[in-house]
Amino acid sequence: MKLRGVLIGAAVLLAGAAAVGSTAQPAGARPRVANVRAEPVVVELFTAQGCAGCPDANRIVEGLAQERGVIALTYAVDYWDYLGWPDTFARPEFAERQRAYLSALRLRNVYTPQIVIDGHRQVSASAPPAVQTAVDEEAARRVFPPQIEFRETGDRVGVGSGRPPAGGAEVWAVTYRPGPQVVSVNGGDNRGQSVRHVNVVSDLTKLGDWTGRPVLYALPDARSANESVVVMVQAKADRRIISAASL
């Protein structure tokens, strides 16, 4: 699976700036864009340190995170805290994001570990080959997604033009810490274990809506030096992630 870098033209950035009321810079003074990764497959893992079956799923997703063309994100949820261990990475909004997938995935309840691919497909973490097959199939289905580029200053991101999905789309910024993190669990079902995570999400911010026209969005400015950000364009109705890029 090949990851293609793309750049939106300067006209797109200027049009996007106008759409959000920004002042365009004079010709020759436009900042270059930072590294762009377009058309990746987004793998979202909903996990918990107090979930007995989650460490195995964590390892599967860590393997996927090493592949080119894959953006792997780990969301820790808090609804297993009652078992005796408060998850150190969990935030209520991560469980809320998981619940938002219930209708699209035709589920009755949330659970962990859950792997969601491109926002509209889930696979069992107990079958690693099926997870890999699903990722490969989703990569082959990319058809002219809106392009995403980051300003070199790292404070803004542009989303280009394209055909919006039925019901419209929204743009999300996901802040995460790249690489593995290990937590020693002293309670609950995983008492005494060291639970390893990869690309742990620390913040989730909605940047705004996307209607098919180019727009320039301001990125959250609370990132620490060891954090990165992923920007995703996601359908409101069926939750499909139609484009994503990492800074």
pLDDT tens-digit profile of 172-224? 999 999 999 999 999 989 999 999 999 999 999 999 999 999 999 999 886 78
**pLDDT tier at 247 (50, 70, 90 boundaries)?**
confident
- Quote the tokens at residue 126: 């107990």
Query: Residue 111 contacts by C-beta under 8 Å, 6 or more apart in sequence?
Result: none
Would residue 206 count as lying in a domain?
yes
Q: Does residue 130 sit within a domain?
A: yes
The reply to whether 3 falls in a domain is no
Residue 207 maps to a domain: yes
Domain assignment present for residue 5? The answer is no
Q: What stretches of 77-197 show up as alpha helix (H) in DSSP?
A: 92-100, 102-105, 128-139
Q: Tell me if 237 is assigned to some domain.
A: yes
**Does residue 11 carry a pLDDT above 70?**
no
Domain annotation covers residue 107: yes
| CATH number (domain holding residue 106) | 3.40.30.10
Q: Where are the alpha helices (DSSP H) in the chain?
A: 10-19, 54-65, 92-100, 102-105, 128-139
Residue 1 belongs to a domain: no
Q: Residue 101 belongs to what domain range?
A: 10-246
Domain count along the chain = 1
Instruction: Please give the Cα distance from 54 to 79 (Å, whole number).
Output: 14
